[in-house]
Amino acid sequence: MPIRLHWILSVIDPYNNTVYYLDSLCEDGTTGTKRDIISDLQDIVNTALFQFQSDREITTKLKMNTKWLKIKCPQQPNCINCGHYVMRFMKEIISHTRTQIPENYFSDCQFPKYDQEQIDEVRIHWVRYVLQQI
């Protein structure tokens, strides 16, 4: 049986010690496709945040725990579209130009899942980008 990899999106706000976690596959309250994945990710991000804050001498932040916010986001209907969902999340987050992501995601982007047109839009943008690099 082939190994399946899963894409998630973590948006890190180092100045506010906050990590926004978007997982399009997991809807049942658990985080990550396996419970140990999130703990590994948390360890890596927490270490990086500690180093970032130490390098910048943000001593007041060093005493705070990192706040992890699981964002309720559109859920993929299968186990293969996670990459498209992550790219769509990035596009929507950037287009909103906000400094925080609402826990219920953006009101104008609240879909239970993306339709084929929304997925195709991501694919078209990706192809255009790749072709410009050639």
CA distance to 15, 24, 44, 49, 116, per residue, from 64 (Å)? 11, 28, 17, 11, 42
**72/69 Cα distance (integer angstroms):** 9
The band of 27, judged by pLDDT with boundaries at 50, 70 and 90, is low
CA distance to 126, 128, 129, per residue, from 133 (Å)? 11, 9, 7
Tens of pLDDT, residue by residue over 39-90, are: 888 888 988 888 888 887 765 545 567 888 889 899 999 888 999 999 999 9
The whole-number pLDDT of residue 29 equals 47
**81/6 Cα distance (integer angstroms):** 9
The whole-number pLDDT of residue 34 equals 47
pLDDT > 90? residue 97 = no
Please tell me the pTM assigned to this model: 0.79
Tens of pLDDT, residue by residue over 8-22, are: 999 998 888 889 999
Tens of pLDDT, residue by residue over 30-41, are: 444 444 567 888
Bridge partners (DSSP) of residue 18 are: 13, 67
* Per-domain boundaries in the chain: 9-133
**Residue 27: closest CA among 94, 100, 85:** 85
**Residue 7: closest CA among 21, 20, 27:** 21
Could you tell me the two tokens for 94? Answer: 């950037």
